Amino acid sequence: MSKYFGYAGTYTRKTSQGVYRFTLDTEKEQLFAAEIAAVLGNPTYITFDEKQDYLYAVAQEDDMGGVNAFRVDKTSGDLKPVNGQLVEGNPPCHVEAAENKVVTGNYHKGEIGLHFTNEDGELDQGNFTKHEGNGPHERQEKPHVHFTGFTPDKKFIIAADLGTDQLVTYKVEDSSLKEVSTFRTQPGSGPRHLVFHPNKQVAYLLTELSTEVIVLDYNKETGEFTEKQSILAKPADFKETNDASAIHITSDGKFLYTGNRGHNSIASFKVDENSGELTFLAFTPSGGEWPRDFDFDPTEKYLVASNQHTGNIVLFRRDAKTGELTETDQVIDVPEVVCVKFLS
């Protein structure tokens, strides 16, 4: 197989209509123009369930926000609406799915949404857990939950709160969330997104405000995190505003990448096979402005970066031995693009 469907979540403030679908041909090293897959308001983040039978997208309709479910036709790439759950207020900024659960993180409300799904992918009304607190940075006037996801064994749910400088571990009890542990980052760092190493024992937390990757040991019994390394993910001499964005690790656990909005680059790191600690490798220009996200194709020979302000998706070759990224001439337009995911 050499052709893969990719999906892009967007803002719909200007010309975008919702979730877009594009195609990558790895044999020809070619991206094919994006087309609308689902008309939806501000589906800025999208995710699949574990079998990729369903796509879940954050959504907004008038003064309501929440999450919508779609059935995925893996042959055509079409998305068929299942249902949506929206409540009053701003929409979430992040969504992840595992087993029969979908969790959302709401930046504006500072809360986590927990939805259960049935065998048809349909979402229930959900339960919501609100954070409290603030931080010293001007953007930390209140809680800002920016990431919600699952531990590798699905035993816990993790929330990264940019506003309170906290990484909170929860377990599900009686269809709601119970806090079991809290890791606190340096004041003003602004934790944004988290990924786990394939060995399931180490996690990597990207901070948006200080642009660092914090390497964490993870205790699967207690859900606790312990810091073992912190490394800068932007040039030390870059003094302009930089907001770190996405963080992803390769399936072999050898390389990790992060996005820089402002410096407009992707930072690459080599992962130590024993400790999981990071060594910086290079900054690669993202091929546009404000790289909000990126993703590996299913072969991991390529990486696509989504540049929000220039409204484009750019294809990079990835060297599996060195981790090096090389920009190709393949660029497609996707208006107000934020998030990208591949159907494998």
Q: In the predicted model, what is the mean pLDDT of residues 14-42? A: 98
pLDDT in tens, 78-113: 999 999 999 999 999 999 999 999 999 999 999 999
How far apart are the C-alpha atoms of 125 and 117, rounded to whole Å?
Answer: 10
Contact between 272 and 255 under an 8 Å Cβ cutoff? The reply is no
Please compute the mean of the pLDDT values over residues 148-162 and round it to a whole number.
98
The C-alpha angle with vertex 244 and arms to 16 and 295, in degrees rounded to 5, equals 60
Number of H helices, E strands in the chain: 0, 28
Q: Quick count: other Cβ atoms within 10 Å of Cβ 138?
A: 8
Phi, psi (degrees; rounded to nearest 5) at 111 = -140, 160
Amino acid at residue number 55? L
> Do residues 328 and 313 touch, judged by C-beta distance below 8 A?
no
In our burial notation (b when 16+ CB lie closer than 10 A, e otherwise), range 311-334 reads: bbbbbbebeeeebebebeebbbeb
Record the tokens describing residue 86, joined without a space: 């929206």
CA gap 313, 289 in Å, rounded: 11
Mean pLDDT, the chain, whole residue set = 98
Percentages helix, strand, coil for the chain (3-state, rounded to 5) are 0, 55, 45
Cα–Cα dist 37/102, whole Å: 21
pLDDT of residue 321: 98
Q: Is residue 1 predicted with pLDDT exceeding 90?
A: no
Distance separating alpha carbons of residues 206 and 300, to the nearest angstrom: 21
Band of pLDDT at residue 162, cut at 50, 70 and 90: very high
- What tokens appear for 40 in the block? 């939806």
**pLDDT tens across 203-258, in order?**
999 999 999 999 999 999 999 999 999 999 999 999 999 999 999 999 999 999 99
Phi, psi dihedral angles at 32 (to 5 degrees): -105, 145
Which tens digits make up the pLDDT trace of 284-309? 999 999 999 999 999 999 999 999 99
Q: Give the pLDDT of residue 295.
A: 98
Sheet with 54-61, side-by-side order of all strands: 46-48, 54-61, 64-72, 79-88
Under 8 Å CB-to-CB from 229, ≥6 apart: which residues?
Answer: 214, 215, 277, 278
- Token duo for residue 344: 């494998």
